[in-house]
Structure 1
Amino acid sequence: MANEIQAVVVWCAKDKRTPGRGTFNATTVAQNDPIFDLSPLPVSTRIDCPLVMRRTGTTSPDRADLDCQIATFLAIDPRSGFAPPEWQSHIGSVIVARKDKKPLSVHHLEGFWMYNDAILDEFSENGEINESDWYSRVKFERWWNDYCEEAQENRGAFQQANGLTVTPGGSDDWSNPGNPYDL
């Protein structure tokens, strides 16, 4: 549809329990969706592929139902490794889109999430991060190419280690996910 932009919904703990859902799924948002008025996520800006994220409005009396660690990871500050308080807990499901309104695939969203996870590993190991080692398009693309190879070769182990589920009938083929910048 010409007025729709491809995005990704990331399910919180409650919504993941709905049959037929993966950890995240492709979705669409209208070109005039308020998501595009939001400030981009900090790390995504530093690697020249700004993403925006908004809550879907999931509610639950059990706050643990609203956990969405992927959203927290996507929202981290590049200098501290911490997400702002509003993205640390009780988030609910979220929609993530590209600020430039280009299509965001499930593969690319997973890549951005795992890149932030690698950044957090660096903070964990060293207590700080050398920004020039991580925050550029060139650094991300190099990491992305390695990640795609690893994702294709070790998919089952990766899914199990990260609690990922694939939507029945969905594609989990990492042989050619494309470059997020080549759209």
Structure 2
Amino acid sequence: MDTVHPIFSKGELCPITAICGYPLLIYSERIHGGMRAKDDNQPAVYLRIEPDNGFAPTHWQLDDNGTCYVIRADRRMLTKEAIEIVYKFHSHLLSEIDDERRGKPHPCWLRPLGPEWLREFADEYRKKQIAEGRPGFDFFP
């Protein structure tokens, strides 16, 4: 991606992936670019959930956020399969929230967020996708 793309100046760091050692920047044409959105983008909302409460910021939840771009903040390779894995990881996290911990001064998961949890999830997800014959899941960059 061209380094003058607004994702580099206006994109938001996805906090969960940053904690997990896989820093992603996300840019929404509606939120950051002011363009009219034609549809919702639930995966983008999931990528923006916060570690303290499991909710995305309000500006990601309201209206439709439309087309979004995602890159690794460290500029390393990112595949569409890797984005799918990260989205599914976030979806899994939302199903694992301990409601008694939500909004408290500590994470809302019983297990600490970190690279190990993401890697374990990615490896299991990849195995399932490979078993189903889906190409592109041979590694998680």
Q: TM-score by structure 2 length? A: 0.80
In the other structure, the counterpart of 1:53 is: 26
Query: Any residues of structure 2 matched to 1:92-103 within 5 Å, and which?
Result: 92-103=66-77
Cα contact 1:134–1:140 (8 A) shared by 2: no
Residue segments in structure 2 that go unaligned for 5+ positions in a row: 102-107
User: In the alignment, residue 2 of structure 2 is paired with which amino acid?
Assistant: A
User: In the alignment, residue 109 of structure 2 is paired with which amino acid?
Assistant: N
User: In the alignment, residue 52 of structure 1 is paired with which amino acid?
Assistant: L
Cα contact 1:152–1:173 (8 A) shared by 2: yes
Shift in Å, 1:151: 2.1
In the other structure, the counterpart of 1:36 is: 8
Q: Secondary structure at 1:53's aligned position in 2?
A: strand
Question: Aligned residues: percent identity?
Answer: 22
Which has the larger share of strand? 1
Query: Any residues of structure 2 matched to 1:16-31 within 5 Å, and which?
Result: 29-31=1-3
Superposed CA RMSD = 2.0
Count of matched residue positions in the alignment of Structure 1 and Structure 2: 128
Cα contact 2:96–2:109 (8 A) shared by 1: no
Question: What's the CA shift string for 1:70-107, capped at 9, x where partnerless?
Answer: 11000001121100011113101100011111121001
Which has the larger share of helix? 1
More displaced stretch, 146-155 vs 106-115 = 146-155
Q: TM-score by structure 1 length? A: 0.63
Question: What's the CA shift string for 1:31-80, capped at 9, x where partnerless?
Answer: 232312334111011101110011135525xxxx4211011000001121
In the other structure, the counterpart of 2:42 is: 69
Supply the distance in 2 between the matched residues of 1:30 and 1:136 (Cα, whole angstroms).
30
